[in-house]
Structure 1
Amino acid sequence: MGEEYGRVVAVREFDPNKDRDRVEAVERICEVGPSGKLSLFTDLLGDPICRVRHSPAFRMLVAEIGQEIVGMIRGCIKTVTCGKKLSRNGNNSHFIEPVPVYTKLAYILGLRVSPSYRRMGIGLKLVNTMEEWFRDNGAEYSYIATEKDNLASLMLFTNKCGYSKFRTPSILVNPVFAHRISLSQKITIIQLDPSDAERLYRRCFATTEFFPRDIRSILNNKLTLGTFIAVPSGSFSPDTWPGSDLFLSDPPESWAVISVWNCKEVFTLEVRGASLVKRTLAKMTRIVDRALPFLQLPSIPNFFRPFGFHLMYGLGGEGPEAAKMVKALCGHAHNLAKQRGCGAVVTEVSCCEPLKLGIPHWKMLSCAEDLWCIKRLGEDYSDGSVGDWTKSYPGLSIFVDPREF
């Protein structure tokens, strides 16, 4: 309970049976994202908590004045890699290998306050209440993602809540065209089963920052459409694939991997604020692309009404041709998204990710510098010690959890 400007504000647990319609009404009137960019539009499933319910521990709170819901917040907790330490291999004491250092991390998303009730401390009250739950459940750090030009959000989290700027990844968006993308004959793409994909990720990416300890549950989630590895043609095929362990013992010179998450089943996006002229021109590109698909012309999907998208996550690879392998995987993901009626393929990577050059995207739809802010909630009880994670230098890569996108 709290009283702001003479009005009693109650913060309580979200009740899907009585709160869903009122929460969705607040979502609709809260602008998320600048005009002309991709912005969260509506929850396709009619379940406001669906974006975090796939996480190990999650919660949603609402702020209420009288019988009116005026704000909401979502949060979840998981265990992730926050660094690495060197350890001697048990079978060979002379061989030193890096091993992951884990920490319990909380994530805040979906903070909304009705425009009529802003600057009343409601957002701060929601954040403080959620952080109490984080601490009670052993979270050592909390982080949020926001746009760098969202001054109101930055002021709240950095000035009032004690968060600091931490990482600046890039969100890359590529439209799904009316034609399929032709893939290189020099590259073979193989789909891995979830257990094989897990072994590959744990061996290659377990020390990558933000790598989730429960990667198995993500790969086995019904929203993961598959994990795909690209290799030079002639090296392996689906019939001769030896499994990740044997593959990694003698890999080809270059290879790459991604997984695909079906965000279309969670929420939809739309582009707002486009003029009639831009809408008409975009429609013409689709008409031409459908009429002459062999020309492979880039067309603009109908982004001006709600559409679904797929998220590529777990991107990685090695070798001088790895970026080309990534490009082929992105083409495969595009064709999968087209088959499923999506409007875009999206990924988020570290700003200094070496494989970023292989990811096709449109700058006008992408965000070159997203902003993650972090806060230390208490003492560091992580599995091993990296000191204060909030003061650590960024690595080349990050592992973006699709459950929180």
Structure 2
Amino acid sequence: MGEEFHHGVVMREYDPNRDRERVEEVERICEVGPSGKLCIFTDLLGDPICRVRHSPSFLMLVAEIGDEIVGMIRGCIKTITCGKKLSRNTKHSNTSNTGNSNRHLPVYAKVAYILGLRVSPSHRRMGIGLKLVHRMEAWFRDNGAEYSYMATENDNLASVKLFTDKCGYTKFRTPSILVNPVFAHRLTLSPKVKIIHLTPSQAETIYRRRFATTEFFPRDIDAVLNNKLSIGTFLAVPDSATWQGTDHFLSDPPKSWAILSIWNSKELFTLQVRGASRVKRTLAKTTRVVDKALPFLRLPSFPDFFRPFGFHFMYGIGGEGPEAVKMVKSLCDFAHNVAKERDCGAVVTEVSGQEPLRFGIPHWKMLSCPEDLWCIKRLGEDYSDGSVGDWTKSPPGISIFVDPREV
């Protein structure tokens, strides 16, 4: 049974057997973008709860009036890094990509994430969205979450106003979403870079030792790397380097190196660009025809984004050394070729706006979002470690670790 409030709206937990088709219909009618702009629309594959079910703890709520679903919200809870503290025992401490963080240990917090808030256009301005957020936050608190955060487009004024003015959230981080098309031809990889496919165990060791103090790093990184949607983790080193295992790499790394992992978002949902004129569609098709007929020219053709397409998400991007940016570029080119083999239309990632390695990540500005907006709220007073204080007031770090389960 659900909880009823004014206007006869009932809030209850999502039931896939009775709600799936009605929820998908609300998703479709809510996907209305601004006039005259290229807009990306989401088409979920399988159960609508799939976008959170890979998290340790998750919930989806719906709002209904009679037999009609008029709104829904998804949420998940996990333990992530919210800061770092000095270690009293440097010998066994974790390290991160700062180069000198072997004296620091991560400070973890139980954090909740809100996504997929939708209210049917015909039932807006009735307080349904606000009620859904409050119900989800109550579930967060009941399950011990210390913070709640959400992501939205910086220019989505309605969403920003709801969370900041009515729900008590504050603007927290502004990462960049970078999107690169997958072309009709394979990209040529640098012969000066060797790419090593790591096992999940090897990848976990490197991530925990080098990136555990990075903001938003998931404590259950092993669950992410071993998930069926994780295609793999890849390490780029100079061609002259030899791979002798993670212990040797961590104790004596090459002068420059980089790492990233790939997540198969194509299995969860597809995207589609709408709002383009016939002229733009024709020009895009022409680039594909020329690229396919003359692949040796390696022209940057525009994929068919006007029909539903899948994508891969790159996460855990990091590295060190004077050639780290070039190493990241090689890994991104490799990820492009992997996506081409799997018939994806794009490769996507999200990084901090201050991330120095972003200069090695190829992307098209017309498809990317230079400023995504993350807002955060403190839910409780109890903290796993008192050395951080109020995380909502902390300054941004150089890097963030974006969990692919929340994309």
Structure 2 unmatched ranges of 5 or more: 94-100
Residue 153 (structure 1) aligned to one of 151, 159, 167: 159
Q: Which residue of structure 2 lines up, in the alignment, with residue 30 of structure 1? A: 30
> In the TM superposition, what are the counterparts of 1:193-232 in structure 2 within 5 Å?
193-232=199-238
Cα distance change of structure 1 residues 215 and 162 upon mapping to structure 2, 3 Å threshold = same
- 8 Å CA contact retained: 1:102, 1:384: no
Structure 1 unmatched ranges of 5 or more: none
1:49 aligns with 2:45: no
CA deviation vs aligned residue, 1:205-231 (integer Å, no higher than 9, x gap) = 000000000000000001000000000
Could you tell me how far apart the structure 2 residues matched to 1:305 and 1:19 are?
26
- 8 Å CA contact retained: 1:168, 1:370: yes
Shift of 1:3: 3.9
- 8 Å CA contact retained: 1:353, 1:396: yes
Shift of 1:33: 5.2
Could you tell me how far apart the structure 2 residues matched to 1:376 and 1:331 are?
39
Which residue identity is paired with 2:220? D
Shift of 1:381: 1.4
Residue 267 (structure 1) aligned to one of 263, 266, 269: 269
* Matched residue SS, 2:48: coil
Could you tell me how far apart the structure 2 residues matched to 1:96 and 1:311 are?
29
Could you tell me how far apart the structure 2 residues matched to 1:96 and 1:249 are?
12
> In the TM superposition, what are the counterparts of 1:86-97 in structure 2 within 5 Å?
86-89=86-89, 97=103
- 8 Å CA contact retained: 2:87, 2:103: yes
Equivalenced residues, count: 397
Cα distance change of structure 1 residues 243 and 31 upon mapping to structure 2, 3 Å threshold = same
1:131 aligns with 2:137: yes
Q: Which residue of structure 1 lines up, in the alignment, with residue 313 of structure 2? A: 311
Cα distance change of structure 1 residues 96 and 206 upon mapping to structure 2, 3 Å threshold = closer
- Percent sequence identity is 75
Residue 296 (structure 2) aligned to one of 273, 280, 294: 294
Q: Which residue of structure 1 lines up, in the alignment, with residue 360 of structure 2? A: 358
**RMSD over aligned Cα, in angstroms?**
1.5
Shift of 1:32: 5.9
Which residue identity is paired with 1:154? V
CA deviation vs aligned residue, 1:280-324 (integer Å, no higher than 9, x gap) = 110000000001111110001100011000000000000010000
Q: Which residue of structure 1 lines up, in the alignment, with residue 333 of structure 2? A: 331
Shift of 1:104: 0.2
- 8 Å CA contact retained: 2:39, 2:275: no
Could you tell me how far apart the structure 1 residues matched to 2:102 and 2:329 are?
34
* Matched residue SS, 1:299: coil
Cα distance change of structure 1 residues 399 and 92 upon mapping to structure 2, 3 Å threshold = closer
Which residue identity is paired with 1:9? V
Cα distance change of structure 1 residues 84 and 304 upon mapping to structure 2, 3 Å threshold = same
Q: Which residue of structure 1 lines up, in the alignment, with residue 187 of structure 2? A: 181
- 8 Å CA contact retained: 1:38, 1:365: no
Could you tell me how far apart the structure 1 residues matched to 2:40 and 2:304 are?
14
Q: Which residue of structure 1 lines up, in the alignment, with residue 59 of structure 2? A: 59
CA deviation vs aligned residue, 1:311-365 (integer Å, no higher than 9, x gap) = 0000000001000000000000000000000000000000000101000000000
CA deviation vs aligned residue, 1:133-190 (integer Å, no higher than 9, x gap) = 0000000000000011101101100000000000000000000000000001000101
Which residue identity is paired with 2:66? G
* The 10-residue stretch of structure 1 (110-119 or 29-38) with the greater mean CA deviation from structure 2: 29-38
Q: Which residue of structure 2 lines up, in the alignment, with residue 82 of structure 1? A: 82
Q: Which residue of structure 1 lines up, in the alignment, with residue 168 of structure 2? A: 162
Residue 252 (structure 1) aligned to one of 254, 257, 264: 254
Which residue identity is paired with 1:219? L
Which residue identity is paired with 1:177? F
Cα distance change of structure 1 residues 257 and 96 upon mapping to structure 2, 3 Å threshold = closer
Q: So what's the TM-score if we normalise by structure 1?
A: 0.96
Q: So what's the TM-score if we normalise by structure 2?
A: 0.95
Shift of 1:64: 0.5
* Matched residue SS, 1:88: coil
CA deviation vs aligned residue, 1:362-386 (integer Å, no higher than 9, x gap) = 0000000000000000114123520
Could you tell me how far apart the structure 1 residues matched to 2:88 and 2:79 are?
24
Could you tell me how far apart the structure 2 residues matched to 1:349 and 1:9 are?
39
* Matched residue SS, 2:318: strand
* Matched residue SS, 2:180: strand
Q: Which residue of structure 1 lines up, in the alignment, with residue 96 of structure 2? A: none
* Matched residue SS, 1:82: strand
